[in-house]
């Protein structure tokens, strides 16, 4: 894979494209007293113009409890079908921003919050990325495997995609 680091607006655009395309990623918080992160799948609500990623979560969740004590967070997005992957490390903040809750509310949320969008346990989780790295072949798994096989047989070094740091 060719290295293609991206900076500033180009990095934010790449991050937003991958997160929006994949949607559900693993959000990892760090429990005190544990050697391992706690990961849960979460659907993003929005990636803003600064690259911040927003989710809705519950104040009763283990993720919320962990982030109250340690605001470090890691996010992992994977689309193996298209060989696109993204790893993000950053800082989390929580709020009870009713305007954002109203904006993000949908029928799917009713399954998580039976009291509706006024549920006092709903929190807006904002992740501010500090560093990120992506891998993206720009083609399907079949095409990528074919190119890998072709490279192995011919000894050529054809580009299998791009990877790089996203410097936000």
pLDDT of 105 > 60? The answer is yes
Measure Cα distances from 5 to 25, 78, 92, 127 in Å.
Answer: 22, 19, 24, 21
| Amino acid 96: pLDDT | 96
pLDDT, one tens digit per residue, over 131-164 is 999 998 865 554 444 444 444 555 666 555 688 9
What are the boundaries of each domain within the chain? 2-167
Measure Cα distances from 135 to 2, 20, 103 in Å.
Answer: 10, 15, 31
Q: What's the rounded Cα separation, in Å, for the pair 50 and 53?
A: 9
CATH homologous superfamily of 2-167 equals Electron Transport, Fmn-binding Protein; Chain A (2.30.110.10)
| Amino acid 148: pLDDT | 45
pLDDT, one tens digit per residue, over 4-41 is 899 999 999 999 999 999 999 999 999 999 999 999 99
| Amino acid 135: pLDDT | 93
pLDDT of 86 > 80? The answer is yes
The pTM score is: 0.86
Rg (CA), the chain: 18
Closest to 24 measured CA to CA, from 45, 37, 46, 41: 41
Percent of residues, the chain, with pLDDT higher than 70: 85
pLDDT, one tens digit per residue, over 47-82 is 999 999 999 999 999 999 999 999 999 999 999 888
């Amino acid at each position: 894979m060719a290295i293609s680091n991206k900076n500033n607006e180009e990095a934010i655009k790449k991050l937003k494209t991958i997160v929006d395309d994949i949607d559900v990623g693993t959000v990892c918080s760090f429990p005190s007293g544990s050697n391992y992160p706690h990961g849960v799948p979460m659907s993003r609500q929005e990636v803003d113009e600064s690259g911040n990623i927003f989710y809705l979560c519950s104040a009763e969740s283990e993720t919320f409890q962990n982030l109250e004590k340690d605001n470090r967070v890691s996010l992992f997005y994977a689309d193996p079908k298209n060989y696109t992957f993204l790893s993000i490390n950053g800082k989390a903040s929580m709020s009870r921003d009713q305007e954002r809750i109203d904006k993000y509310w949908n029928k799917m949320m009713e399954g998580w919050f039976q009291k509706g969008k006024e549920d006092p346990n709903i929190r807006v989780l904002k992740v501010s990325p500090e560093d990120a790295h992506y891998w993206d072949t720009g083609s399907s798994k079949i095409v990528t495997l074919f190119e890998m096989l072709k490279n192995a047989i011919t000894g050529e070094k054809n580009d299998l995609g791009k990877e790089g740091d996203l410097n936000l």
